[in-house]
Amino acid sequence: MASAQEIKSRISGIAETKKVTDAMYMISSVKMRKARKEVEKTKPYFDALKEQIENLFRYFPKTDNRYFNVPMPKKGEHMKHGILLVTSDKGLAGGYNHTAIKVAEEYMSRHPETVIFIIGEYGRQHFINKKLNFERSFDYSATFPTVWESRKICAELLEYFDNGNLDEINIIYTDYNAGRAGECKRTCLLPLERSKFFSSERTDDSEKEFYPDPDTVLNGIIPSYLTGFIYSSLVDSYCSEQEARMTAMNTAGKNAEEMLKKLRVQYNRVRQATITREMTEITSGAKALARKRKKGQSEDE
């Protein structure tokens, strides 16, 4: 059985750990609120871009734009797939990273030649440890996503798509769900689906002109729209990461509290047993001295 000093040392260590988990919970909470606040500032702009694409399709229902056309592979060839995988930079976030990586690996099992673009150090280290290929030059952090960074990511992906190196690009991210575990989703970034921009038919006969032509206007809008979608996905994933970390730290804190309760009870029992033993030893010693003194008195008489 552990001594009182050993139990006391364990209580001290667990109490210190609980302070860390509580602090991490508070930090994640602040980070999540800050990220949601930032995305709310840019949401109206990207919503307006989507509305403009919808308006354009009202007047030109059909389009041959490359961003909406699914390329058909040549005979004997297969479509070239790409995945933008969003993970975190650190662990301690429950199943957040494992779920996203599992979805990516399931997709790769169906398309072995998939080109992987990874955001977040956790995902990169996972693929390095498993000796799986991914785009090493694509080195972006998952911490505090910004529109500027999303624009750079979008530009790199568009370069692959425009050059014909990839026929389809998917994004795997975790959709934020306040107060609950986020839902991991796989969404096709390119080519875009016409149904995403469905709107009611024209209610008037007015005509609009697009200079120099609708296709050029789309080419100018689509990169900005994709930037907004990527940015929103990164923020959703980041908030889901913080939510998962808050849940993990809250659970760890509760477990630590339960352990502390049990250890305190155990410590009190050991301490009480020690006190009882010491009192018994003192009483026994006092009785022995009393008997010795009494015996000495009898011999003197």
The C-alpha atoms of residue 55 and residue 62 are separated, in whole angstroms, by 13
| Over residues 138-147, mean pLDDT | 90
Helix (H, G, I), strand (E, B) or coil at 113: coil
Closest of 51, 59, 52 to residue 207, by C-alpha: 59
Closest listed residue to residue 12, CA positions, set 246, 254, 259, 252: 259
* 198 CA to centre of own chain: 31
Q: Residue 168 — very low, low, confident or very high, per pLDDT cuts 50/70/90? A: very high
- Model confidence band, residue 221 (pLDDT cutoffs 50, 70, 90): confident
Average pLDDT, the chain: 84
Secondary structure letter of residue 120 according to DSSP: S
Position 301 scores a pLDDT of 58
- By three-state DSSP, how is residue 88 classified? coil
Q: Which two tokens stand for residue 35?
A: 């990220």
Side by side, which strands form the sheet with 183-190?
A: 115-119, 81-86, 168-175, 183-190
Length of the chain: 301
Number of Cα atoms under 13 Å in the Cβ half of residue 220: 10
| pTM more than 0.85 | no
Domain architecture of the chain: domains with CATH: 4-15+253-296 (no CATH), 28-248 (3.40.1380.10)
Give 187's contacts (C-beta < 8 A, 6+ positions apart).
170, 171, 173, 233
Nearest to 119 by CA among 145, 93, 81, 98: 145
The per-residue pLDDT for range 56-114, each reduced to its tens digit, is 777 776 777 888 876 666 655 678 899 999 999 988 888 899 999 999 999 999 988 89
In contact, 37 and 239? CB cutoff 8 Å: no
